[in-house]
Amino acid sequence: MTYPERATRRLRLPADDRSPATARAAVRTVLTEAGLTELLDETLLLTTELATNGVVHAGTDINLTVAADSIGVRVTVTDYRSGGIEPADTAMPEVTAEGGRGLLLVDRFASSWGTTHDATGKSIWFRIDRDPEAPPPERRTPEADLPVGPVTDLGQLAALLTIAPALQSRLPVEQLVSELLARLHDATAAAGGAIEFDPGGGSGAGVLAKFGDVADASVTVPVPLTAPATGRLVLAGVPGPEWRPLAELTAERVALALQIDRMRTDEQRRSGWLTYLAEAGELLAHSLDEHLTVALIPQLVVPQLGRWAAVHLRKDGGSLELAALSHTEEAELEPWRARLGAAGTALESSLASDGWTGMELPTPRGIDGLSVPLSARGATIGVLSVGRPSERQHTTEERAVIADLAKRSALALDNARIHAERAAVAHELQSALMPGTLPEVAGVSFAAEYLPAEAFGTEVGGDFYDATTLPDERLWVAIGDVCGKGAQAAAVTGVVRDVLRVMARDGRPMPRALELLNSTLLEQPGDYRYATIASAVLDRDGDALGATLCLSGHDRPLLLRSDGEAEWVGREGTAVGLFEQVKVNPERVRLETGDALVFFTDGVTERRDMSAMFGHERIVRAVRDVAGKSARTIATALLEAVQMFSSDAPRDDIAILVVRCDGR
C-alpha cells in the first residue's frame, strides 16, 4: 500500500565536508513539515552515515531524495562511483575505528532498506516508519518545530542536542558522540570539528569523532571527564566566541555519554571478572591432586591477567621452589624458568621481612610484574607471581582479581595436600588390615587382588581377605565385606580378622569360631557392625586338597576345575553381627591338582556399566580361559575383566582371593 507524500526534498550536493550537514537540514525540514519529528533522531543518524559515505568514500557528488508520507520517511542517497557495495561495508569495524558502521546502523535502525547500482553509480535507500499505534501525525510548517540552519537561541540549541534516550541506549558511544558533533555542526556551520579523548589507561589520546579540517581551531573547550580520562572539543572556522556556550554544552553532553559508557563498561568488566573468578574457583575445587592443581593455577592466569605466571611452593625445609610456569610465548618458557627459579630466594626473603603487609610482595629484581603470597588456614604455602600485560601495568582492578585468585588457589592447594595426607593414612590403615604376604606352602598357591573404590579414596574400605597356616599342615583362608566405610569399618574389620585368626589357630571348629565372632560384633557400639564372610579350612588329601567351606551371608566361591569346568560351591549361612543366633552350614569340597577356589566380594558382581551388572556369569567367562593356570594368572584375569567392564571408576571395593591346588 502506498501513501501520498506530505513533504519532499531533492538535492544535488557536492563532494564536500559540508554536504552531510546540508543533507541533515533537508531531512529536518521534511520531517518537521510532515509532522514526523518523532523519527528525527534515527533519520538524521542514518542520513549522516550515508551522506558521509558518499562524500568521503565514493568521493563524488551525491543526490539526496527525502520523501515523507503519513506513516514514515524514505531517504535515498546516490553517488557516482561505479560498482556495488563492498563486503567490508557491512563488516563489523574495529572498536577503535572512527567510522565504518554506516550500513550496520542502517540495518539496525531502518524499517527497511535496499540498494541499486549500475555502471554510473549506486543508490542506497532506507525507510523509517512511525509506531502504527501512535496518534496520526499533524502536519506543520517548517517554522513550527525544530530550527533549520544556524541557531543562536540557547533553548533551541539544547533541544537540538537532545537525543532520545531510547536511541542513546542502542547506539555505540562512538556513534553517539559523532551524532552530537554532527548536531553541533548543524547549529554552527563550522568548517571543522573534532572530539579528542584519552581514557587515561596509557594508550594516549585519539579522535572519537571529526568533520572537516581543524588545523586552525578557533574554539577549544575541555570535555569534563573524571580523572584520569581527559578530552576536548575543537571547532574551526566559526565566526566568534558567541559559539563557545554551545560548544561547552555539547562537551557536557559528550562527557555524559562517555561517563555512562565507562560505567556500563566497568560494570560489564566487573561482571566478567566475577564470572572468571567463579569459574576458576570451580575448576580449582574439582582438583584434589596437588600436582594437577599447581599446574592449573598459572594456566588460569595466562593470558587473562598477564603474559606469564609462576607458582613457587614451600618445601619441607621452608625454602621456595618453582613448581609451575606458564607463558604466552612457548619459546620464552625456558629463559623464564631459569630466571624465576633463581627468584625463590628473593621471594622467601620478602616473606620473612618486616615490611611485608600480607597483600603484595616486593617483586625480585629483573622481574616485571607482581607477586602475591599463597596463604591458607593461617599458613603461607607459596607465592603466585604474575607478569604484567603487554605495554602496560596491572590496573587496580586486575591486582584485586589476582589477590582473590591467589586466595582461591592457596585454599585449593591446601585442600589437595590435606586430601593427599588423608589418602596416605587411609592407604596405610588399609594395608595394615590386609596380610603383608600370603603363605608359601608346597602344593598350594595363593593370589589376591584388591582395588579400593575411588569414591572413597580418603577412607578405609570394608573389604578384606586373609590366609594363614594352621597346625597339622592345615590352612585357613577368608574373604569378607564389613558394612560401611571409614574408621568404624576399619575397627570392625580388625575385630573380624583378628577373632577369626585366633579362633582358627586355636583349633576351634569354624562354625564355633563364627558363633563367637557374632557375639563379639553384637557387643560393638554403633549401628554398622555386621559383616559377610566366606571362610575355609584346607587340609591335605594326598595330592588333592579338602576344603571345608563356611559362608556367612557371602557369595559362594567358584570352584574352577583344571579342564575349565566350573561350579558354585558352599551352602549359604547367616551374616555375622546381625542376629543373636547364626546359621552356619559347612560344606566339604575336594580340589584336584590344577583346580582352584575363586573367592570375591560384591564389588566384583555389582560392578556396573550403565544399568548392567558384571554378575556371576561373567566371572565364569573371565576365568574359564585360564583354567589350570597359576593362581596369579586367574586372579589377574578376573580383575582385568571387572575393570574393563566399565569406563567408570569403581564405586565399591573389589577383593579377589584365589587358592589353587598344585599337587605334590
Average pLDDT over residues 118-139: 78
pLDDT tens-digit readout, 144-192: 444 444 445 555 556 666 676 666 667 788 888 888 888 888 778 888 8
Quickly tell me which residue has 525544530 as its cell.
146
User: Which pLDDT does position 248 carry in this prediction?
Assistant: 86
**Could you tell me the CA-to-CA distances from 315 to 312, 321, 344, 403 in Å, in that order?**
9, 7, 11, 22
Q: Is the dihedral of CA 616, 617, 621, 626 positive or negative?
A: positive
User: Which pLDDT does position 559 carry in this prediction?
Assistant: 96
Q: What value does the mean pLDDT of the chain take? A: 83
Fold for 433-661, please state it.
Phosphatase 2c; domain 1 (3.60.40)
- CATH architecture of structural domain 7-219: 2-Layer Sandwich (3.30)
∠ Cα 97 102 107 (to 5°): 130
The CATH number assigned to the domain with range 287-428 reads 3.30.450.40
310-324, 370-384, 520-534: which has the minimum mean pLDDT? 520-534
User: Which pLDDT does position 155 carry in this prediction?
Assistant: 59
pLDDT tens-digit readout, 607-658: 988 889 999 999 999 999 999 999 999 999 999 999 999 888 888 888 999 9
pTM for the whole thing? 0.58
> What's the grid cell of residue 642?
571387572
Q: Which 3 state secondary structure label does DSSP give 54? A: helix
Quickly tell me which residue has 615490611 as its cell.
355
Cα 600 to Cα 617: distance, rounded to the nearest angstrom: 14
Average pLDDT over residues 29-51: 87
68: left (phi > 0), else alpha (psi -120 to 50), else beta?
beta
Domain ranges of the chain: 7-219, 287-428, 433-661
pLDDT tens-digit readout, 391-445: 788 888 888 999 999 999 999 998 888 887 777 776 666 666 777 788 888 899 9
Cα 267 to Cα 262: distance, rounded to the nearest angstrom: 8
* DSSP 8-class letter at 306: -
72-86, 97-111, 153-167, 650-664: which has the minimum mean pLDDT? 153-167
Cα 631 to Cα 591: distance, rounded to the nearest angstrom: 13
Average pLDDT over residues 486-498: 78
Cα 292 to Cα 106: distance, rounded to the nearest angstrom: 52
Cα 607 to Cα 640: distance, rounded to the nearest angstrom: 12
Average pLDDT over residues 212-233: 88
Q: Which 3 state secondary structure label does DSSP give 535? A: strand
User: Which pLDDT does position 217 carry in this prediction?
Assistant: 84
User: Which pLDDT does position 356 carry in this prediction?
Assistant: 53
Cα 336 to Cα 356: distance, rounded to the nearest angstrom: 25
Average pLDDT over residues 372-385: 88
Report CA Rg, the chain: 43
Average pLDDT over residues 358-384: 84
pLDDT tens-digit readout, 560-590: 999 999 999 999 999 998 888 889 999 999 9
**pLDDT confidence tier of residue 460, bands split at 50, 70 and 90:** low
Average pLDDT over residues 353-380: 78
Cα 593 to Cα 445: distance, rounded to the nearest angstrom: 11
Q: Give the residue, 274 or 202, on which the prediction is more confident.
A: 274
**pLDDT confidence tier of residue 285, bands split at 50, 70 and 90:** confident
**Do the beta carbons of residue 523 and residue 553 sit within 8 Å?**
no
Q: What share of the chain is helix, strand, coil (3-state, %, to 5)?
A: 40, 25, 35
**Do the beta carbons of residue 106 and residue 113 sit within 8 Å?**
yes
Helices assigned H by DSSP within 191-332: 244-285, 290-301
User: Which pLDDT does position 51 carry in this prediction?
Assistant: 87
∠ Cα 17 66 30 (to 5°): 95
90-94, 299-303, 423-427: which has the minimum mean pLDDT? 90-94
**Do the beta carbons of residue 649 and residue 656 sit within 8 Å?**
no
